[in-house]
């Protein structure tokens, strides 16, 4: 049992919950009796019980939502259990519905005992085993019990797979039994779906204890990362806080556990696609060799269908937090510290070999996602006073040559996704750290600069003081990058930067549903692309994009949808 008391479970709710589980067990029992040939079940009684199950579930939900109405502030622990309660009761009701479906399907069997040859008793053994655990596991938020409930899902899945293959063969060899075989398959499929519901119930209880939505597989992988028994994981002494905002599809969370004593008791747990995680691990290893301490170290890595990685937790604040909340002198101090770090990295990793960033090719890979969010960006070209106004697609097609002509004179090892919330500053030791590094590689340093500048511009913050801070950081970083380019005799820096800004401005619209602001980014990107297309005789060294293209002033623009 957990050390903390379970919140809000008063006697009325517990009574209704226990009755709900009991009625679901009765429905499953009715299905068993029918399939075992012990006579017809009373359908009216079955339907009446189903109505009672619906009523109990509604009573429990009313209690949960009533709690939300009564309190202005609710502890997270209570919210987690409220969420788990609705998931558990919903899945209990589904189990009862599946039981009724089984009874109805059984009436199509002729003879009624046709299903006996498929030995369905193990299905019901697994189901009853789980259902008998539900009350205790729920009321005590018992993760051991929750694991045992969820563990019956693969058991039921395997039982279903074995019988599915057998019935599939018999459909070919015994065509005269098609109705019985198909009906048997449907019944067995309902039993398999009950396993899915049981897994959902177990995962909901686990999530209530852990504090975040946690699938069974992820729960075991988290336990494995902490050197725990993955077959019987117990994370009741582990604090897991999910970190949201990632668009990569990876599950990311901050973990506190006694097993992390050597790492200061905290680490970051990441679970995601193997290709991305492996690239990130390789990038972190390379960053550690190039600039020790800049990137987090990998504590443990496990390969699986979805790889998992436990990495060092870096203390400090993201640059985004600092820019939006700190006073300007402090913001400028931190930005200068970041710039010092960048210069050190760029000079240490510089290789004097030309590299093509190919910004328009990068943009094209993201255009379908842009159009999915903003389909009106596909609009056909227009004629205004006899002049053709090009579409985004036409502009890109007409300027493909820029990807070949705009060449960086050297390459550096870059971040790859250098935005405001991927940079951490630790004030205690005046250190800068990089995170989210799976795109790190050798590149044109202008790529990181263009991403960084647009990451300031696209922040949905329109309050004058905060917007002024974002604009100030843009000015500081732009001046810094131009100074570095001048020192390195990089004559086409501004032209490449403009093309990088086109890529980042337009592709960023896929993350913003506000039409007005998305169109603002699109127009600025198209303006820069048109300006580059007007450069005479390839004289890109003379091109300088205007400062205002990156400065957003809420007083002049509206950002409402």
pLDDT (tens digit, 9 = 90+) per residue, 428-458?
Answer: 999 999 998 989 999 999 999 999 999 999 9
Does 386 score more than 60 pLDDT?
no
Q: Give the largest Cα separation in the chain, rounded.
A: 91
Task: Clarify whether residues 443 and 300 are in a common domain.
Answer: no
Instruction: Identify whether residues 29 and 140 lie together within a single domain.
Output: yes
Least confident among 28-42, 171-185, 201-215, 393-407: 28-42
Q: How far apart are CA 23 and CA 33, in angstroms?
A: 15
* Location of structure tokens 């896929």: 510
Assess whether 246 and 138 both reside in one domain: no
Evaluate whether residue 561 is within a structural domain.
no
User: How many Å apart are CA 152 and CA 123, to the nearest integer?
Assistant: 9
Residue 383: what are its φ and ψ, rounded to 5°? -110, 120
137 and 263, same structural domain? no
Lowest mean pLDDT across 75-84, 513-522, 532-541: 75-84
Write the CATH number for 32.
1.20.58.220
Instruction: Please report the pLDDT score of residue 559 as a whole number.
Output: 37
SS3 474: helix
Average of per-residue pLDDT across 207-235: 71
Residues 306 and 345 in one domain: no
Q: Torsion angle of alpha carbons 109, 113, 114, 117, nearest 10°?
A: 150
SS (H, E, C) 284-324: HHHHHHHCCCCCCCEEEEECCCCEEEEEECCCCEEHHHHHH
Angle at CA of residue 147, ends 145 and 151, nearest 5°: 120
- Is residue 136 assigned to a domain? yes
Q: Which helix (H) or strand (E) holds 335?
A: helix 328-349
Q: Which helix (H) or strand (E) holds 8?
A: none
Torsion of CA 289, 292, 293, 294, to 10 degrees: -70
Q: In the numeric block, which tokens belong to residue 297?
A: 């170290």
How many structural domains compose the chain?
3
Out of 312, 335, 369, pick the residue that ends a domain: 312
pLDDT bracket for residue 1 (50, 70, 90):
very low
Answer yes or no: do 359 and 474 share one domain: yes
Is pLDDT above 90 for 208?
Answer: no
Q: How far apart are CA 533 and CA 398, in angstroms?
A: 8
Residue 187 class from Cβ within 10 Å (0-12 exposed, 13-18 middle, 19+ buried)? buried
How does DSSP classify residue 411?
A: B
| CATH number of the domain that residue 331 is part of | 3.90.1200.10
pLDDT at 561 over 60: no
* 402 Ramachandran zone, left/alpha/beta (phi>0; psi -120 to 50): alpha
- 386/163: higher pLDDT: 163
Asked whether residue 163 is domain-assigned, the answer is yes
Distance, CA of 148 to CA of 160 (rounded, Å): 19
Contact by Cβ (8 Å): 540, 492 = yes
- Please check whether residues 443 and 518 belong to one and the same domain: yes
Residue 6: inside a domain: no
Residue 337 sits in the same domain as residue 460: yes
Q: Can you spell out the DSSP letters for 210-242?
A: HSS---HHHHHHHHHHTT--SSS---TT-EEEE
Listed residue (257, 500, 534, 524) closest to 358, CA to CA: 500
End of a domain among 259, 293, 312? 312
Instruction: Say if residue 257 is in the same domain as residue 182.
Output: no
Q: Which residues pair with 307 in a beta bridge?
A: 272
Same domain, 464 and 513: yes
- Average of per-residue pLDDT across 292-309: 86
Angstrom distance (rounded) from CA 191 to CA 160: 8
What whole-number distance in Å separates Cα of residue 231 and Cα of residue 233?
A: 6
Residue 268 belongs to domain spanning: 236-312
Range of 65-79, 119-133, 256-270, 273-287 with top mean pLDDT: 119-133
Band the pLDDT of 373: cuts 50, 70, 90: very high
Q: Within a domain: residue 2?
A: no
Please indicate, yes or no, whether residues 17 and 131 belong to a single structural domain of this protein: yes
* Residue 216 to residue 195: CA distance in whole angstroms: 13
Instruction: Please list, residue by residue across 260-273, b when 16 or more beta carbons sit within 10 angstroms of its beta carbon and e when fewer do.
Output: beebeeebbbbbbe
307-312/266-272 β-pairing: antiparallel
What global pTM score does this model have?
A: 0.76
Greater pLDDT, 9 or 417: 417
Q: pLDDT for 56-73, tens place per residue?
A: 999 898 888 877 676 666
Tell me, rounded to whole angstroms, the distance of Cα 145 from its chain centroid.
27
d(CA 238, CA 399): 54
Residue 303 within a domain: yes
Q: Domain holding 289: CATH number? A: 3.30.200.20
Residue 227 lies in a domain: no
Q: Are 247 and 377 in a shared domain?
A: no
Within-domain flag for 418: yes
Residue 82 pLDDT: 84
For residue 506, is pLDDT > 90? yes
């Amino acid at each position: 049992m957990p050390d903390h008391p379970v919140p809000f479970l008063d006697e009325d709710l517990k009574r209704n919950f226990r009755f709900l589980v009991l009625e679901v067990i009765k429905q499953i029992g009715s299905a068993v009796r029918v399939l075992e040939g012990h006579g017809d079940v009373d359908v009216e009684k079955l339907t009446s019980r189903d109505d009672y199950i619906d009523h109990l579930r509604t009573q429990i939900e009313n209690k949960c939502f009533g709690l939300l109405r009564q309190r202005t502030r609710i502890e997270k622990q209570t919210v987690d259990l409220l969420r788990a309660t609705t998931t558990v009761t919903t899945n209990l009701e589904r189990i009862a519905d599946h039981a009724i479906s089984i009874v109805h399907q059984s009436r199509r069997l002729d003879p009624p005992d046709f299903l006996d040859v498929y030995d369905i008793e193990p299905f019901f053994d697994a189901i009853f085993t789980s259902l008998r655990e539900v009350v205790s596991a729920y009321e005590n938020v018992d993760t051991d019990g929750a694991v045992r409930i969820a563990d019956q899902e693969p058991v039921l899945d395997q039982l279903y797979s074995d019988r599915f293959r057998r019935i599939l063969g018999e459909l070919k060899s015994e065509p005269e039994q098609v109705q019985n075989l198909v009906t048997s398959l449907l019944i067995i499929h309902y039993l398999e779906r009950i396993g899915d519901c049981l897994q959902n119930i177990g995962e909901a209880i686990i999530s209530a204890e852990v504090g975040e939505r946690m699938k069974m597989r992820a729960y075991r992988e988290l336990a494995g990362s902490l050197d725990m028994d993955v077959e019987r994981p117990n994370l009741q002494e582990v604090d897991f806080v999910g970190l949201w905002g990632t668009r990569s599809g990876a599950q990311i969370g901050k973990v506190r556990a006694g097993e992390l004593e050597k790492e200061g008791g905290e680490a970051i747990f990441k679970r995601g696609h193997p290709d991305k995680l492996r690239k990130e691990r390789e990038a972190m290893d390379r960053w550690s060799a190039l600039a020790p301490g800049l990137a987090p170290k990998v504590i443990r890595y496990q390969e699986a269908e979805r790889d998992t990685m436990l990495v060092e937790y870096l203390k400090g604040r993201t640059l985004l937090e600092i820019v939006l909340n700190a006073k300007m002198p402090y913001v400028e101090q931190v930005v200068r510290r970041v710039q010092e770090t960048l210069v050190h990295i760029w000079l240490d990793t510089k290789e004097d070999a030309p590299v093509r960033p190919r910004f328009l090719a990068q943009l094209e890979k993201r255009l379908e996602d842009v159009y999915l969010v903003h389909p009106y960006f596909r609009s056909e070209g227009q004629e205004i006073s006899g002049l053709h106004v090009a579409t985004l697609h036409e502009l890109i097609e007409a300027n493909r040559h820029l990807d070949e002509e705009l060449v960086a004179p050297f390459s550096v090892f870059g971040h790859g996704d250098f935005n405001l919330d991927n940079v951490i500053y630790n004030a205690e030791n005046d250190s800068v750290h990089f995170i989210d590094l799976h795109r790190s590689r050798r590149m044109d340093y202008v790529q990181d600069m263009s991403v960084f500048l647009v990451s300031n511009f696209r922040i949905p913050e329109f309050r004058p003081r905060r917007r002024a801070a974002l604009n100030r950081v843009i000015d500081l970083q732009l001046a810094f990058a131009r100074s570095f380019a001048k020192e390195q005799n990089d004559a086409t820096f501004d032209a490449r930067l403009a093309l990088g800004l086109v890529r980042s401005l337009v592709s960023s619209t896929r993350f913003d549903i506000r039409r007005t602001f998305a169109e603002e980014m699109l127009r600025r990107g198209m303006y820069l692309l048109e300006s580059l297309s007007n450069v005479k005789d390839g004289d890109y060294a003379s091109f300088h994009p205007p400062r205002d293209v990156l400065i957003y002033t809420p007083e002049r623009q509206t950002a409402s949808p």
